[in-house]
């Protein structure tokens, strides 16, 4: 997490329209394109995210609630956290994303971590609010939180206001609230032959039970992410590979692609249970090893990046 002060472009307590800067307008106009460029597949959720963000940034959301709220549901490694990163970075800058792993907040005492346990202690949420007036609060694995922590989420979604141990009221009406959960997704494997609408219904029902119906009811958009189709796996491998090739290019290593390279990277970097989660490491390792091999043999790492099936690795030819 990073904490840097920036002047809020849009405050709920101020008249909105005169303060909407042209750069903010451009950010809103380009959000769809940025999401489509960075997030592969998941086209069923992207327009619903940008719609909430547009209304939030244009001052059209309820003034006494968060600017917008989302439940991002679905299997591991399919782009849920990536969507939050990309959206927040585009609208506010990456330093405005504040992340909480709710599996670390399973006891009643963890409430103190968030809102302070004694006088003078404002907790993590108080510290965030001291540093930023707007941004994103991301609560991963939300269903794992202690019931008292879930009460706090309910309050946050309902009134955008929380009280610290010091008695100070924190206003989160400038923030987007994102909850993520894999709930109901493990069973999707056994429901593989059902259609998408049935799968979505299953995940939504399970999430509503675990996250409490009253929390669920207060969330603007409940979005179910799908497993990544093979073409999207290829595109994600391509995205990481392009970045790696650009990075190596800056260091003088000019690499081109053989057409077998992407399918090989999907084989290595995509896992049925972990989705695209291992992809970044797989690309960095396999391409890095191929370049290192050239350098250790005192030859330039320039050429076609191809698959060596016998050695199960990439090589520069």
Ligand X SMILES: Nc1ncnc2c1ncn2[C@@H]1O[C@H](COP(=O)(O)OP(=O)(O)OP(=O)(O)O)[C@@H](O)[C@H]1O
Residues that bind ligand X (CB under 6 A): 39-42, 76-82, 182, 228, 236, 275-277, 279-280
State which residue, 81 or 89, has the beta carbon closest to Mg ion: 81
CB of 128 to ligand X, least distance (A): 21
Residue 210 CA to residue 185 CA, distance in Å, equals 13
State which residue, 139 or 264, has the beta carbon closest to Mg ion: 139
State which residue, 77 or 174, has the beta carbon closest to ligand X: 77
State which residue, 111 or 237, has the beta carbon closest to ligand X: 237
Residue 174 contact, options ligand X, Mg ion, none, Cβ 5-8 Å cut-off depending on partner type:
none
Residue 66 CA to residue 61 CA, distance in Å, equals 8
Applying CB under 5 A, which residues contact Mg ion?
A: 80-81
CB of 81 to ligand X, least distance (A): 3
CB of 88 to ligand X, least distance (A): 13
State which residue, 65 or 82, has the beta carbon closest to ligand X: 82
Position of minimal CB gap to Mg ion? 81
Q: What does each C-alpha distance from 303 to 235, 239, 263 come to in angstroms?
A: 22, 19, 19
Position of minimal CB gap to ligand X? 79
Q: What does each C-alpha distance from 119 to 131, 132, 164, 284 come to in angstroms?
A: 20, 22, 9, 47
CB of 1 to ligand X, least distance (A): 16
CB of 186 to ligand X, least distance (A): 11
Placement of tokens 């965030």 in the chain: 128
């Amino acid at each position: 997490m990073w904490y840097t002060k920036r002047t809020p472009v849009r405050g709920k307590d101020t008249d909105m329209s005169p303060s909407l800067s042209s750069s903010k307008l451009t950010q809103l106009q380009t959000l769809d394109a940025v999401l489509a460029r960075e997030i592969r597949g998941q086209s069923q959720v992207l327009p619903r995210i940008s719609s909430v963000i547009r209304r939030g940034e244009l001052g059209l959301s309820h003034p006494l609630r968060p600017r917008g709220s989302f439940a991002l549901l679905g299997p591991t490694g399919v782009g849920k956290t990536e969507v939050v990163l990309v959206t927040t970075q585009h609208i506010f800058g990456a330093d405005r994303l504040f992340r909480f792993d709710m599996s670390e907040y399973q006891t009643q005492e963890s409430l103190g971590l968030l809102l302070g346990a004694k006088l003078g202690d404002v907790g993590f949420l108080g510290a965030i609010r001291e540093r930023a007036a707007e941004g994103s609060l991301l609560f991963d694995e939300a269903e794992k939180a202690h019931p008292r922590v879930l009460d706090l989420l309910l309050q946050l979604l309902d009134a955008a206001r929380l009280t610290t141990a010091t008695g100070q009221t924190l206003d989160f009406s400038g923030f987007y609230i994102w909850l993520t959960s894999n709930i109901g997704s493990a069973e999707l494997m056994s429901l593989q032959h059902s259609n998408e609408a049935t799968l979505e219904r299953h995940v939504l029902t399970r999430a509503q039970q675990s996250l409490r119906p009253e929390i669920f009811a207060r969330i603007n958009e409940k979005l179910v992410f799908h497993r990544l189709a093979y073409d999207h796996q290829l595109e994600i491998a391509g995205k990481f590979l392009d970045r790696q090739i650009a990075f190596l290019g800056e260091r003088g290593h000019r690499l081109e692609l053989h057409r077998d390279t992407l399918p090989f990277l999907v084989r290595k970097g995509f896992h049925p249970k972990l989705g695209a989660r291992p992809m970044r490491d797989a690309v960095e390792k396999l391409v890095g090893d191929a370049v290192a091999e050239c350098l250790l043999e005192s030859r330039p790492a320039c050429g076609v990046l191809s698959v060596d099936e016998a050695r199960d690795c990439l090589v520069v030819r």
